[in-house]
Structure 1
Amino acid sequence: MPGMENVTNLGLRVEKFKKNFLKHFQANFPTLYAICLDPIGTHKKSRAFIGFLLGLFFGILLYECIIIDLQFDPYTSVCLGGIVITMLSIGCAMSIQVRCICILTIPTFFGRAGRSMLRALILGYIIAGPLFNLVYNAKEVVRTFGCTTQLTYNLTKTRFDLMFKPFQQAILAMKADASEIKETLSSVRDLMSPIVEEVEGENEMLRLKEENDYLDELQGDTKRSKEIEEKHEMKAEEAKSDADAYEAKYRKKIEARCEEQLSRGAGRCRDMFGNAYDKCYEAVTIFVAWLLCWPMKLTFVCNLVQALGGSSICDPEGKVDSGIGEGYVALKSARDEFSRSMKDAKLQYKLKKPTVILDLQDSEYAAKAVIHEFAVRRRLFESVMTIVKRCLSFVFLKIILNAQTYHDKYLTDIEYDNMYVTPYFRKIDARRKARGSTTLLPLKKTEQMKFVDPYAVKPSKAERFHLTGQTVKLLLELITATVFVILDWLFYEALDLIRRHAYMEYTQAGLHDLTLEIRGTGVIASLIRSAIRGFNVKKRIKTVVSNSACLPRPAKLPTYVIVKIYGTFLTIFLLIFLSVYTERLRRGICSFFYRRREKRRVLYLYNESLRRRLSYAKFIKAKVKNMVRTRHLENEVNFWLAVRLKWPDRFGWLRFFACARDRCLICGDTEPRKGPKYRACTTPACHFLHCAECWRDVGRVCYACTEFSDTETEEYDTQRSDF
């Protein structure tokens, strides 16, 4: 192929394949070939239809990959997707610029904008993965702390209850026992009431007095109650103590009761004689009744007992035991003493409450507070992640804007991204070579840094510099992400180690026996026995408790999250290397849509490069002479080279490093370690070297030691070079 002499094997194969494909495409699909490759302005309807399908495809792709991830409600998502699909379809159908920009988004995605979007995704993965997992495991630590504290408290409380709870319950129960004792004393008081009534009761004495006086009036006798009162009043006055007074009073009641019984018996006797007389009188005639019934009139017989007994028949002297008054007084005194003692008895106890400390939180409250705070932060985190996802989705706009920027600069700035040695560039050079004119190919070493072969597999020097910078930046980002992953893994391993080896079982056994024995059968013994019955304790405990519920349950970071993080890093790494070729593809896409513009750009690049080459020799001559004049070359001493040359035996190994080897005076390339050596200047005082190509370009003259007139160098700017 003409003009393809210096192209790589890959370039030759691509051009050959391209030529054969276009021939086959034109032969088999002439209509489609004409639609694709005919000049702009032809086949408008067909191109509009194909553009509509292209816009529809990109709109659906944008809806599925971006709009759905914005997490709007379904109605909003569908409406927004419909608007985007409609705009892209109509735009691609009507405008060649929109078509070009849409296709440019593909290589732009593999460039800087696409890598920025993937970096944002990695940030989201790190937040949702290791950072969120660290927060969850931290919550487990707080829960474990609170649970362990609660378990310790429960175990201590169990032992405390075994030791002191019975006493507490017994003391609290004594309040009810005191009420029971009071009720018992009340029953004692009720039990003594008949005795008190028997000894001191006045109602019975009044009744006996009235009955005795009534019977005495019926019989016409003197009132015996008066005699009894006079008799016993004298004894009461003679009483020396309460016991004698009570005894005299009781004797008086006994005597009155006896008199009442005798009077009642005599009255009943008279009633019986009267009834017998009436029955007898009714049974016989009046004359016989006078003879037979008169004995029934002998009622004096009813007083025979009193007559025969005399006045001492009801005298209690000798009938009532002596000392009864003393016994009654002692009994009454004991009753009053019991009543008074139990009335003043009070059971008091005090529950000691600890001092309330402000702003003091126990472990359980702290755990609940942390869990609540974690839930709040989690909801906030989910909201932030939703916003981040939406922002990440809008990062895709950067890809579209970058594609549009490249498109606009391609059409307006003829020097923008204009550095490719295209087939048309080679054809121009082949034509000039055929005419015998000055050509550019093959390129000089200084020119190779400025040009890019679109078919070259090996990146150019500028592209390699860009790749190195991006790779180092990616490596730092990878280290940062790995730090978070390792921190999460170490935290998980520490908690999992505790979970596997900190399991414990607590066996708590104990007994508490206490027996208080009250020997006695009396009332007091019963009362005391009732009061202290709560102190009779027989309590047993045997519990087996484990800390399984308090062991941490850490969450392990899912493997798929790590795969997504490092898989995305790998994708970015691949995109960095692919960006060398995808950026070349952008020019090819624009050249397909704007073929005339591409030819104009290539012509400008060729002519401008040719102009620069023609002026390069004069520029180098002026630059070197200016450096000689200012003695700048004498100051440029390579330290490592000087060390290697001065002590070759000791530091000869430095030649393996580029910093210790000579450089070309013109292009500045380092002398190769293997291969042809650079040509040294033959002037004895000049130690500079030239590579073969630069030596040929400068006309085999060393500018550092050759004398030139001032007019040869002053007309060129020595501070600027087109290369």
Structure 2
Amino acid sequence: MWSIILICSITFALSPVFRCAIICVLCGALGKNGQGLLSVVVFTHLSEGPINNIISNFNLSAHIITCHLKLKEQMMTERIIMSTGPIEALLAEKFGKSTSKGRKLIHMLKSLVEPIGYDLSLSDEDKALAATIDNAEILQRRDAILNEKKESKLDLTNEYIRPIWEKLKSKASKLLTMRLHFQCSEVFDKGIKKCHDKFRDMKDKCYNILWYIPFINRAVCGKFDILQICQAAEKHAEAAKFCDEMMERVMGKMKSFDTDTENMQNVTDEVLDHLRVNMHYKAIEEPRLTRIYRLKQVVYRISQNFHIVKMIFSTIKHLLGCLFIFLLYTIFRNSIQMIRNYLNNIDFLNIFLTPYFWHIDKKREEAGEVFLRPLSKAERKINGLLKPFSPPTRAEIEASWQPLAKFFITLIVALLVLLVDNFFYSIIKEVSGTGFVADLIKDMINFDFDKTLNLTIPLEHCHVEPTSPDWSFSWKYVILPLTLMLLLQVVFGYFIKRITLFYIIGGIFRKRNKARTIHLYNKLLFGRVNSRRLARARIRYQVERRILQREAIKEQSKLFAGTFIQTAIIEKLFATGKCLLCEMKYRKSVLVECPNFNCPATYCRTCFTEIHQQCYACLAEEGIVTSERTQFMPSEPSPNEAQRTESLSKSAEESQETSSIIVESTQEETQG
């Protein structure tokens, strides 16, 4: 451990890159890159504070409820003992054996009664039996219709099949007799159905085998006629006659069948009622008493579940610690990448006008060389120039939407946890409201009972004060980090990045910072010389071809041109004018118009000062400026203006030479 600290200290003292990376990590933790770290810190403190408080209060409420239930169960037991007195022991001693024997007798009767009860009730087997008999009757009618024996067979059926259950009175005897008759008929009906199925399959197979001999297959396969072989109508009539005669013989021997069946059903219903009462006691009363006497097991399960919840939150806390280390590594990696871009790429975010930039410009102005002050709006827009403390750009605003969304998610989660903590504490501490739920919670929590039977049962150990929310902890470790996250990482995240780039990295690598500033100055100077040369050539071209006059005529022919709406509303709200030299749009009230009435040229104040307050279009039309003499000099120019004009032609060469010097100095610094 100490060896690692010693190595890091030596590296920090000797290596400027490592020193810069460490400082950038510290500053980056305050910016957008540190939002993940701060979110992890907030969630960790939420887990340690409000969430642990919620779990503790929930465990406390469960303890209060189970404690009251346990005391109620104890009081109920004592009340039963006091009310029964010695009778309970006497009944247990005298009637305990008879009760067990009675239960054995009931189980024996149940085994005897269940088959009879099944026969005396309608079941799925009866429905399947009725379906089989219906199919047999359909086959009988089909056979009678096809063999033209419908009337004769129906007469036989009416003669022999007579329902015997119509002579009985009770429903149970009718049901039992009908079932026996149907079971008898089912034997014959299944045989008829099987005959139909078998011979139909044989006939189909015969036709499939002898399909190539048309006449022979009809003669041979026609012998398998189902109607002639099975004779469903005749067999059905014979079965009905046989079953009816058998039932007549049985009923003739049993004279009191109707009365016996009814008595048997009454006994069955009575025994089943006793069984239902016994089962109700076994299934409902005994488990209810068992649940009363198992409160200790309930308390143990509740404590076990809370232990599992605590283990889960402890695991989440360790995972958040691992995530914190990973996010710290990402910040360090991004800082190293930014330092490499700063040292290796001279154009990396080199768009800011620092004080050293204007120091160079002032020195050039004092030396009589070409200088840049003031920068026009076109130059600022084309090169994207900014100040270190200027407002955020569009790209920086768009990049802040994601941190803003993360902040709101973290804020909502934190507020939700704090509200739940406070709400749960308020419920346990004091219940307010009306209605059944509020009254029930009041009775459960505020219940107090102290009565002497044969012992005293106080409730002081059940009344435990809940843990109140620690608002100082929440303000210090939740609300304050969220406020810092909003200010430093969402609103002013771009500002911290600029400070890191210009004051920390630039302060450590000063030569590189000066080289970047000189490179930016040369790039702007070279761009201004070229842009002004092209602008003057463009103006001369427009003057030669009368393009400015045609554009002025088009402007006058537009809608609302020259009206009050154009001058008072449109020109004050929108940038309708344009500088002829830099071609940037301005409001017409800001532009400087040419004194010549016939010239439509307009200039911004910066460009008009640069061309010595003379209209370049008028000078081109008069022939004062040409392609050979591109600039106009006043008759008595100031020394600075004369030197500036003389050095315009040399500015491109100077900028190229300076750029080569900067590249060489950058390579030497990188190697060093």
Q: TM-score range by the shorter chain?
A: 0.3 to 0.5
Larger Rg: 1
TM-score norm. by structure 1 comes to 0.44
Normalized against structure 2, the TM-score is what?
0.46
